[in-house]
């Protein structure tokens, strides 16, 4: 389009930059949340040292970033758009609200919010650990002619680079299963929300429809890695995707972890028979 590519500034926070591995971040509390025990955690079906996971996740998204949006459409036959639409519908963002989309990647959720909120919207903040995903997102924004309205922040969901009580709403879509300590990321969402603020999480979940689970298993462990190999040139990254989905807490478990973090009025909506689910909770 002939547009200068580095128009928007990308802000790196703290040690979680591309140059310095996130695993050395002393602000991330160690802990067993979401982990099989001790100093180990899951990376898909593999057990890895906790300190290695963030770097491994970052490598996955470095590899898939250029084809991420295309792959989302291919993998889900466009259904991820409906799920994201359902998340935004439930959140119902209004102009004047301050919102952070954590693990916002290439900006899909933020673009949708801005469209919904109209011209009077405050900038939406995107915070993602992976600078490659943010770069792809910034280029998308420029191609859409959206030269302002989004703050692109490189930071970790487990140590959000924002003061307490900064936002009216905090969202995370398909990001929570990638963090090393799920409970730490939930606690951080609660911390940065203002009282009366809301957290909404869209994530793959547990399939609740008999037979659909079998079909879905076959699709995710056979078709997805093949598609990832052909389109994105990275079969392993898409095998990780399928495995990380199976490792993620089911609807009930995630809801109780939200309550344990202090969220009130926790509610869950299943999408496509539980393939994905939206969790909503309020900081009161
Ligand atoms: C599957 S993508 C989802 C992107 C976007 N939310 C969407 O729905 O299209 C997962 C994103 O989570 C980010 N991510 C993984 N671990 C993270 C962490 N600890 N903190 C912040 N972002 C993280 C990845 O870099 C990637 O951009």
| Average pLDDT value for residue range 184-192 | 98
Instruction: Give me the domain span that covers residue 149.
Output: 10-57+76-206+250-282
* 185 occurs within a structural domain: yes
pLDDT digits (tens, 9 = 90+) for 84-128: 999 999 999 998 899 999 999 999 999 999 999 887 777 899 999
The finding on whether 175 has its CB within 6 A of some atom of ligand 1 is yes
Within 10 A of 38 (CB to CB), how many other CB atoms are there? 10
* Number of independent structural domains in the chain: 1
* 259 occurs within a structural domain: yes
The yes-or-no verdict on residue 162 having pLDDT over 90 is: yes
* 81 occurs within a structural domain: yes
* 23 occurs within a structural domain: yes
The yes-or-no verdict on residue 14 having pLDDT over 80 is: no
CA 240 to ligand 1 center in whole angstroms: 14
Q: Which atom of ligand 1 is nearest to the CA of 61?
A: 25
DSSP codes of every residue in 32-97: -TTSSBTTEEEETTEEEEHHHHHHHHHHHHHHHGGGHHHHHHHHHTTHHHHHHHHHHHHH---TT-
Within 10 A of 245 (CB to CB), how many other CB atoms are there? 21
Distance CA 101, CA 167 (A): 10
3-state secondary structure of 232: helix
Question: HSE of 199 in the Cβ direction (CA atoms, 13 Å)?
Answer: 34
* 67 occurs within a structural domain: no
Q: Which atom of ligand 1 is nearest to the CA of 133?
A: 27
pLDDT digits (tens, 9 = 90+) for 218-251: 898 889 889 888 888 888 888 888 888 988 999 9
Distance CA 136, CA 155 (A): 16
Using alpha carbons, select from 142, 137, 166 the residue that is nearest to residue 154: 137
Task: Return the minimum-mean-pLDDT range out of 120-124, 179-183, 191-195, 206-210.
Answer: 120-124
Distances (CA, A) of 55 to 11, 80, 190, 224: 19, 26, 25, 23
The finding on whether 104 has its CB within 6 A of some atom of ligand 1 is yes
pLDDT top residue among 144 and 187: 187
CA 105 to ligand 1 center in whole angstroms: 5
The pTM score is 0.86
* 171 occurs within a structural domain: yes
| Average pLDDT value for residue range 62-89 | 90
Q: How confident is the model at residue 37 (pLDDT cuts 50, 70, 90)?
A: low
* 119 occurs within a structural domain: yes
Check which CATH number belongs to the domain holding 101 and give it: 3.40.50.150
* 226 occurs within a structural domain: no
The answer to whether residues 180 and 50 touch, using CB atoms and an 8 Å cutoff, is yes
Express as a percent the part of the chain with pLDDT over 90: 55
Q: Which residue from 73, 78, 105 has its CB within 8 A of the most atoms of ligand 1, so it is best to mutate? A: 105
């Amino acid at each position: 389009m002939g547009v200068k590519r580095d128009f928007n500034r990308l802000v790196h926070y703290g040690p979680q930059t591309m140059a310095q591995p996130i695993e050395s971040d002393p602000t991330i509390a160690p802990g067993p949340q979401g982990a099989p025990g001790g100093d180990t955690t899951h990376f898909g079906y593999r057990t890895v040292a906790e300190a290695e996971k963030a770097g491994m996740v970052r490598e996955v998204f470095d590899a898939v970033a250029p084809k991420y949006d295309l792959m989302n459409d291919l993998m889900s036959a466009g259904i991820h758009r409906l799920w994201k639409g359902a998340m935004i519908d439930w959140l119902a963002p209004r102009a004047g609200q301050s919102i952070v989309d954590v693990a916002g990647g290439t900006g899909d959720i933020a673009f949708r919010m801005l469209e919904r909120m109209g011209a009077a919207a405050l900038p939406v903040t995107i915070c993602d650990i992976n600078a490659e995903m943010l770069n792809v997102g910034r280029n998308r924004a420029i191609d859409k002619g959206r030269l302002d309205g989004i703050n692109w922040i490189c930071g970790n969901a487990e140590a959000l680079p924002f003061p307490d009580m900064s936002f009216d709403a905090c969202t995370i879509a398909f990001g929570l299963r990638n963090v090393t300590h799920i409970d730490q990321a939930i606690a951080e969402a609660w911390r940065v929300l203002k009282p009366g603020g809301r957290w909404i999480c869209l994530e793959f979940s547990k399939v609740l429809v008999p037979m659909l689970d079998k079909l879905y298993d076959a699709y995710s462990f056979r078709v997805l890695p093949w598609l990832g190999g052909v389109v994105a040139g990275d079969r392993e990254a898409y095998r990780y995707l399928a495995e990380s989905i199976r490792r993620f807490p089911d609807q009930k478990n995630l809801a109780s972890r939200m309550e344990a973090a202090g969220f009130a009025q926790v509610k869950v909506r299943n999408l496509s028979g539980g393939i994905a689910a939206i969790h909503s909770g309020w900081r009161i």
